[in-house]
Amino acid sequence: MSLVSLPLLQQFLLVLAALVLFTSFVLLSQARLVSAIHAFAWQGGLVAAVTGVVAVAGSSGHLYFSALLTLVLKAALIPWMLHRLIRRLELERHVESLRWPAIVNMVAVILVIFSYWLVLPMVQQELAFTRNIVAISLAVVLIGLWMMVVRQQAVAQVLGFMSMENGLFLAAVSATAGMPLVVELGVAFDVLVAMVLFGVFFFQIRQSIDSLDVDRLNRLTETVDEEADLEFSAAPRRPHTVTARPAAVEEAE
Amino acid sequence: MDHLLNAAAPVAAVLQAMLYAAAAPLLVGWIRKVKARLQNRRGPSVLQPYRDLRKLLAKEVRVAHTASPLFRAAPYIVFAATWLAAATVPLLAVNLPTAALADIIVLVGLLALARFFLALAGMDVGTAFGGMGASREMLVSALAEPAMLMAVFTLAMTAHSTNLAGVIDFQLSNEFALRPSFMFALGGLVLVALAETGRIPVDNPATHLELTMIHEAMLLEYSGRHLALMEWAAQIKLLLYGTLIANVFFPWGIAQSFAAGALGMGIAAVAAKLLLLGAALAIGETVLAKMRLFRAPAFLNLALLLALLGLLSHVILEVGA
Amino acid sequence: MIMSAALSLVLLAVVLALASSAASLFAARTPTVIRLLAMPLFCLAGMAALAGGLSALLNGDAITATLPLGLPWLPWRVQLDALSGFFLAIIGVVSFAVGIYGPAYVRGFEKGRDSLVALGGFSGLFLAGMMTVVLAADAFLFMVAWEVMSLSSYFLVAFQHDNAANRRAAFLYLLMAHVGGLAILLGYGVLASFGDGFAFDAMRAATLSPAWASVAFALAFLGFGMKAGLVPLHAWLPEAHPVAPSHISALMSGVMLKVAVYGFIRFVFDLVGELQWQWGVAVLAIGCISALFGVLAALMQRDLKRLLAYSSVENLGIIFIGLGLALLFLSTGHSLPGVLAFIAALYHALNHALFKGLLFLGAGAILHSSHERDLEQMGGLLRRMPWTGFLFLVGCISIAALPPFNGFVSEWLTFQSALRAWQFDSGVLRSLVPIASAVLALTGALVAATFVKVYGVAFLGQARSRHVRHARAVPFGMRAGQAVLAALCLLMGVIPTGVIGALNAIPEQLLHSGLPQAVSHNWLSVNLAASNSASYSAPLVAVLLALIVAAVVWVLHRGPVRRVRRCDAWDCGFAPPGNRMQYTATAFAQPIRRVFAHLFLVDEAVVPRNDGGQRYQLTIGDRTWGIFYLPVARWVEAASRRVVRLQSGNVRLYLGWTLLTLLVLLWIIS
């Protein structure tokens, strides 16, 4: 298979897939939350475009609907909801830079090479170019998970999760020309519900530990005993060990 | 007919080299004009850089007491290396003998030679400005080099050749194809070109503040014909990178024979491409602001990432089995 | 007849080196014998080795002989084939230059307290040892010569042993040389156990299982890599090379490291047999890490000789990148790019010997005339030592891999062979090899930065201390030695096709395939495959550069204004710039240090001084000490503490151990 022998539409598809990979790298190391949401919106838009092109090439009807659904959901609705969430959490100017960006990017590159290697022995009767897009989508999934590992901000974790979902969708569209419509509707609805739940959950976390840094979630284990104190004392800034707390407020177990 | 062609080739090569030296100030003048218009000014004439060069060539040379012979020799070496590097990039026609002289890696090497002597000249007089310029220039170039070579490799892996003529021939002889690897390599190369030629957002070519200078700081002590040579070399370098981007990634229009018609078409095509690129650069410089020096590594890492993605797209998407 | 003439020339060279060593024994009585007799003999030994090695390389046949020395059932065998000839030529040319440089340099030690007998005696032994290592055709002679080489260089490193730091450096060097030597011996042991005997011919004929071959490879890589100074086994290099006398540092960095490369090539490409691609990946990875780490560490140094030592680590990394690529290509069946990578590695070995020798000799010249090794005290030396400055500039341009000098050719060849990665079947290799070459590109750019720093701070600008301001030019002999190496740097850069053609004999002999005629026999340009695919016309580039410079100078000097007037430097209207206002070496490297800070242990502090002022302190440590050396040292100490319990002091217990050992041995024999 050589690139020039493919029809133009399929070459365009490869370009779009490469751009999706690029947006997932941008998501990984983008320091500003608002720009990260924009990158995610672009990723959603590109995945919708891929669906649209596959629909045109294969002319299967339900893929048009699926492309539209992805565009509305991933490129418009969910970014808007995240934007609103960020404004309510007052995180608009939040900047979180990675500690070792070079190493993070290097690992992401290695994940891409690894997913390529994994996909290599896939069935030969599949067109080689769809196999390659499956490699890209697996890479997007892995990079989404890696993003959840390296980023500390909770909203960034949501973006990582969402981009994993984007990768899976891309794999489904390119390898099997889409899933049955019912399955897609179900998945889309699940994602929407997850978004709403995230919004509610974030407020709870912030109220309880006064920060949205996921690393601080491990302190929740120490505050379990003192949950009853939350109404009486101010929200604890730092977890106190039992011995360090003032005796007056101490609740012996 | 054959021997005519054989005689025409070196003549065309020399013509191309002369054209590089002659057209470089024109490109810079065009960019300044567009920038001025974007800033609601009329701006100097497009020919102003020529007048500046002529003025400098006629002026007396003042050299500091502490300067060594290297200070006086450096402008000639910088100019010669940059001009020779530019002469190997196909401007008008593809099959010139100068293209067989040096491939992309030699091109990068010649530019590195020019930069080496430029940095040494900066350190020569023993002032703080020169040292600062040299130190910053070496940082930027050290980080730009892997990105540039990675972009070159992406091209070479597809075209199986590092000669610029080979890559252009490959593009022209195969049918048009949308290659994600070339797109990413183009993106990376554009960012590297901005860094290497000292344009915003990496360096401000029109600044007078020492703390924001990189290239200007190394030239601070030069005057007269030495300064003319250094400025001219910088302009030729800009034209070199512009031609590299225009003719390697969008080679349609370049002459593939030495007939007068083909050469004329070549000149017209490359002039159009360069005008567009110059305008795009001017717009970019107006819209963006210069970054502080320690944000330049992030910028160049983006270039490296783009080039890497180009390579990965080539391996994963384009080659298949 | 020419064949045995080459071998006899080389054996003559060994004899001359030993004679130089013997002549130095009289140095206690008459100190001038070193520079009048021993050094000229040294120089003649170098010439003979160069002549013999070149004729062996160009004639391309392998000659073997058996010396009437050694053990009765294990006589010493020597062989002179193209590979040995090439490395002998490298040894010869650098020793020749050092022999010319030596007399004037050694004169500075004649009035000192250090023993001249040791200096001259061990120099000759060192040279003889190195030449014999390259000649050896059986493991026994190889190890004996290797030990002679290591021990004599230890004594040379410990030459100025009054200083405790020098003694520590020498001890570290000795320790690591012996650990490496042990690994090499074990490697030969593995090969010998599969063959029948210690002769290289027997080892070549032996067939090993892939697992044992990997074990032998790992041992050889460990041992030769330690001697070559690859990360993380490099710690001895930046300690030992700076403290030796400068002409010995030139020999150690320029030649001894190449002997380690020779040993590795001989072991892996010649003796082991079937190559495996995993070895190539390991060698490529370690080469990349060494190259990057070496150059970054070099950029941070302020001691000139230590900087050059770290730069040797980097260049050896580049040589091993070439060897790793060769292993990868050859083991996957692509012989043409593999041979190309192999030749690139050999070319870089030659180039490094030339320009690193030149740079160390230049550092010795600076040390000789200003007694200064610290870059922060130097400055403005170009106007005080013009010839040394010019020749050092040639060395800096060569090591920064800039056309038209020799460093560029070997880098170009390495890049070209890495670019052939599209021929790999495995997509993973096709992605990893270009990433390795991006690391190589980063290294090359950082080397240019390092040597701009070195040359700019040391030779340009204004002098930063009084004794540097009063430095004088060095004697003619020292300049001549440097000039020889500098001329060769230019020559090797301008006739790459001739050198590649000569080098082609080595893979033809070792790997039974070479570059096709089209590549090497076009004198004008190096064309790989089709002429449209990759080409570099070195002589034309050099000539055109010179022509353009001459033309521009001529055109501009016919203008109306030719005069140059001197004035003060630009000072913004304030006081004239003093020598303390210049950029220091540390300041020059600061941006790059800040970008790569997490690779080093950087300790910056501003401490108040007694007189109320403040002092800025910067220490840059090597992370490998904490990660690798200290844990190993602690483990060895813990193990020895446990073994010490055997020494309880009780006589009867010792007798009991003796009885036990006797019983075990009797049981084994039965």
Tell me: the pLDDT tens digits for B118-149?
999 999 988 888 899 999 999 999 999 999 99
Q: Classify residue C576 by its DSSP letter.
A: P
The DSSP-derived string for B260-288 is: HHHHHHHHHHHHHHHHHHHHHHHHHHHHS
Q: How many CB pairs under 8 A join B and C?
A: 270
Query: Any alpha helices (H) in chain B, and if so which ranges?
Result: 2-38, 48-57, 69-87, 104-124, 128-159, 164-173, 180-196, 215-218, 224-249, 260-287, 296-313
- pTM listed for this prediction: 0.91
Distance from CA of A129 to the nearest CA of B (A): 7
Q: How far apart are CA C98 and CA C100, in angstroms?
A: 5
**Which pLDDT score, from 0 to 100, does residue C575 have?**
76
Query: Please, which residues bridge with residue C599 across strands?
Result: none
- Of residues B276 and A204, more confidence is placed in B276
- The residues in B 41-60 lying below 8 A from C, measured between CB atoms, are 57-60
Q: What's chain C's average pLDDT?
A: 89
What is the β-pairing status of strands B61-64 and C564-567? parallel
- Mean pLDDT along residues A46-71: 85
Contact of C48 with C10, CB cutoff 8 Å: yes
Q: How far apart are CA B112 and CA A7, in angstroms?
A: 42
Distance from CA of A107 to the nearest CA of C (A): 13
- Mean pLDDT along residues A31-54: 91
**Which pLDDT score, from 0 to 100, does residue A233 have?**
45
The percent of residues in chain C predicted with pLDDT above 70, rounded, is 97
**Which pLDDT score, from 0 to 100, does residue A221 have?**
66
Mark whether A95 and A203 lie in a shared domain: yes
- Mean pLDDT along residues C143-168: 91
Mark whether A160 and A225 lie in a shared domain: no
Chain C contact set for A113 (CB, 8 A)? 428, 431-432
Mark whether A205 and A243 lie in a shared domain: no
Chain A contact set for C435 (CB, 8 A)? 109
**Which pLDDT score, from 0 to 100, does residue C68 have?**
76
Encoding tokens for residue A9? 């539409």
Name residue C115's amino acid.
Answer: S
Judged against a pLDDT cut of 80, whether residue C563 lies above it is answered with no
Judged against a pLDDT cut of 70, whether residue A110 lies above it is answered with yes
**Which pLDDT score, from 0 to 100, does residue A31 have?**
84
- Which chains are within 8 Å of B by 3+ CB pairs? A, C
What is the β-pairing status of strands C535-536 and C564-567? unpaired
ipTM of the complex: 0.94
Name residue C377's amino acid.
Answer: Q
Domain ranges, residue A244? 218-249
Q: What is the pLDDT of residues C407-439, one digit of tens each?
A: 999 999 999 999 888 888 887 888 889 899 999
Q: How confident is the model at residue C519 (pLDDT cuts 50, 70, 90)?
A: low
Q: Which residues contact C42 (CB under 8 A, 6 or more apart)?
A: C16, C17, C20, C95, C98, C99, C102, C123, C124, C127
Distance from CA of B308 to the nearest CA of A (A): 8
Q: Would you call B180 and A18 a contact, using CB atoms and an 8 Å cutoff?
A: yes
Q: What are the angstrom distances between the C-alpha of C502 and each of C48, C527, C605?
A: 19, 16, 54
- Mean pLDDT along residues A173-186: 76
Min mean pLDDT across B58-62, B96-100, C325-329, C340-344 is at B96-100
**Which pLDDT score, from 0 to 100, does residue C189 have?**
92
Mark whether A242 and A117 lie in a shared domain: no
Distance from CA of A103 to the nearest CA of C (A): 11
Query: Which range has the top average pLDDT, A210-219, B176-185, C277-286, C596-605?
Result: C277-286
Closest CA to A148 of A160, A131, A140: A160
**Which pLDDT score, from 0 to 100, does residue B213 have?**
86
Q: Would you call B317 and A132 a contact, using CB atoms and an 8 Å cutoff?
A: yes
**Which pLDDT score, from 0 to 100, does residue B6 have?**
66
- The residues in A 115-174 lying below 8 A from B, measured between CB atoms, are 116, 128-129, 132-133, 135-136
Mark whether A60 and A172 lie in a shared domain: yes
Q: Is C185 exposed, middle or buried (0-12, 13-18, 19+ CB in 10 A)?
A: middle
Distance from CA of A131 to the nearest CA of B (A): 8
Q: Which stretches in chain B have pLDDT values below 50?
A: 1-3, 321
**Which pLDDT score, from 0 to 100, does residue A249 have?**
40
Mark whether A227 and A183 lie in a shared domain: no
B175 touches chain C (CB under 8 A): no
Q: What are the angstrom distances between the C-alpha of B17 and each of B11, B240, C54?
A: 10, 11, 41
**Peptide linkage before C232 cis (omega within 30 of 0):** yes
Judged against a pLDDT cut of 90, whether residue A6 lies above it is answered with no
| DSSP-derived 3-state class of residue C567 | strand
Judged against a pLDDT cut of 60, whether residue A1 lies above it is answered with no
Encoding tokens for residue C384? 């005080």
CB nearest to C383's CB, from B68, B123, B139: B68
**Which pLDDT score, from 0 to 100, does residue C2 have?**
47
Domain count, chain A: 2
Q: What is the pLDDT of residues C82-117, one digit of tens each?
A: 999 999 999 999 999 999 999 889 888 887 777 888
How many C-beta neighbours within 10 Å does residue C599 have?
Answer: 15
Q: How far apart are CA C283 and CA B294, in angstroms?
A: 34
**Which residue carries 């995230």 as its tokens?**
A198
**Which pLDDT score, from 0 to 100, does residue A237 have?**
44
CB nearest to B313's CB, from A12, A18, A113: A18
Query: Please, which residues bridge with residue C39 across strands?
Result: none
C512 touches chain A (CB under 8 A): no
- Of residues B184 and C654, more confidence is placed in B184
CB nearest to B178's CB, from A15, A109, A129: A15
Mark whether A237 and A194 lie in a shared domain: no
Closest CA to B119 of C386, C449, C443, C587: C449
Min mean pLDDT across A210-224, C369-383, C482-496 is at A210-224
Q: Which residues contact A31 (CB under 8 A, 6 or more apart)?
A: A95, A96, A97, A98
Judged against a pLDDT cut of 80, whether residue C71 lies above it is answered with no
- Mean pLDDT along residues C241-251: 91
Q: How many CB pairs under 8 A join A and C?
A: 11
Encoding tokens for residue C284? 């490529």
Contact of B309 with A22, CB cutoff 8 Å: yes
Q: What is the pLDDT of residues A82-100, one digit of tens each?
A: 888 888 888 778 787 777 8
Closest CA to C237 of C214, C265, C266, C260: C260
Q: How far apart are CA B159 and CA B254, in angstroms?
A: 18
Q: What are the angstrom distances between the C-alpha of A113 and each of A138, A140, B37, B311, C82?
A: 11, 12, 47, 11, 41
- Which chains are within 8 Å of A by 3+ CB pairs? B, C
- Of residues A1 and C336, more confidence is placed in C336
Q: Would you call B221 and C569 a contact, using CB atoms and an 8 Å cutoff?
A: yes
Q: What is the pLDDT of residues C188-235, one digit of tens each?
A: 999 988 887 888 888 888 888 889 999 999 999 999 999 999 988 999
Query: Any alpha helices (H) in C229-302, and if so which ranges?
Result: 236-243, 246-251, 257-265, 277-300
How many C-beta neighbours within 10 Å does residue A242 have?
Answer: 12
Q: How far apart are CA C537 and CA C541, in angstroms?
A: 6
B317 touches chain A (CB under 8 A): yes
Query: Please, which residues bridge with residue B198 across strands?
Result: none
* Long-range pairs for A114-119: beta carbons < 8 A, 24 or more residues apart: A114/A142, A115/A139, A115/A142, A116/B312, A116/B315, A116/B316, A116/C427, A116/C428, A116/C431, A117/C427, A117/C428
